[in-house]
């Protein structure tokens, strides 16, 4: 069954080009041209991934992302204008899995889409694999996390980070290591991406993010997970 993607951009030429190119790769594509239309389509359909522009009429992309995250952890790739670093940072803060800067190379976008689905497929091979650390339970098969029996809603990238840490307790990863292992392609050295995701992950799984019990900082080096 083909993967179903929602492309959201108010520039018809970009939508037309993405739709044509991605459909040639076998994806099923729906398109929306403003934020309100995007939310309506998202509520009425099931998508495997969303490609979402930041600058949209009616509802901006960051607002759309926030509303998606209130109900779903579906992977979201943000499209941002060149040089708009704040949009990138806010997108990651609000739960985007990735971003790509306009104008972009369609081959780069396709590589990032494939990386998302490859991580999902790799996880599905780990049938009924459970990791328990202190009061946390991580189910690798259905990509769920519970703490004290309460389910924690993680984005795809947040779960991938947690899985890597939890399956390698005590191992220190540099930001560059994490970019390579989790994002699986050259990320232009933007290590802020890692820091933002780690901060968001800590806010969700730690009782006190400033005094973590699970994900620790090795100052001047990187991050590591608590030994079991």
Residue 189 has pLDDT above 70, yes or no: no
Which domains are present in the chain? 4-121 (3.40.50.2300), 126-225 (1.10.10.10)
Q: Quick one: pLDDT band at residue 54, thresholds 50, 70, 90?
A: very high
Measured in whole angstroms, the distance separating CA 115 from the mean position of its chain's CA atoms is 11
For residue 182, the SS3 value is helix
What is the average per-residue pLDDT within 132-146? Answer: 89
In the predicted structure, residue 115 carries a pLDDT above the cut 90: no
- Find all residues with CB under 8 Å of 210, minimum gap 6, and list them: none
Look at residue 127 in the predicted model and tell me its pLDDT: 43
Q: How far is it, in rounded angstroms, from Cα 77 to Cα 66?
A: 13
Mean pLDDT score across all residues of the chain: 88
The yes-or-no verdict on residue 174 having pLDDT over 80 is: yes
Longest dimension (CA), the chain: 52
The model's pTM is: 0.67
Q: How confident is the model at residue 107 (pLDDT cuts 50, 70, 90)?
A: very high
User: Mean per-residue pLDDT for 152-180?
Assistant: 91
């Amino acid at each position: 069954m083909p993967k179903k993607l929602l492309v959201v951009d108010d520039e018809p030429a970009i939508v037309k080009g993405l739709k044509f190119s991605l459909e040639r790769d076998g994806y099923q594509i729906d398109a929306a041209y403003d934020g309100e239309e995007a939310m309506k389509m998202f509520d009425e359909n099931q998508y495997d991934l969303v490609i979402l522009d930041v600058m949209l009429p009616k509802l901006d992309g960051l607002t759309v992302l926030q509303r998606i995250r209130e109900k779903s952890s579906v992977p979201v790739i943000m499209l941002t204008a060149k040089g708009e670093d704040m949009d990138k940072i806010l997108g990651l803060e609000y739960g985007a899995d990735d971003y790509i800067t306009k104008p972009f190379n369609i081959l780069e976008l396709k590589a990032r889409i494939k990386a998302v689905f490859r991580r999902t497929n790799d996880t599905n091979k780990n049938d009924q694999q459970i990791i328990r650390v202190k009061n946390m339970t991580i189910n690798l098969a259905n990509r769920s996390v519970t703490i004290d029996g309460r389910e924690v809603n993680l984005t795809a990238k947040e779960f991938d980070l947690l899985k890597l840490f939890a399956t390698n307790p005590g191992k220190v990863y540099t930001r560059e290591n994490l970019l390579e292992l989790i994002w699986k392609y050259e990320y232009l050295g933007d290590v802020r991406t890692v820091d933002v995701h780690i901060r968001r992950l800590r806010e969700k799984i730690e009782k006190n993010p400033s005094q973590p019990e699970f994900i620790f900082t090795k100052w001047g080096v990187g991050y590591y997970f608590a030994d079991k």
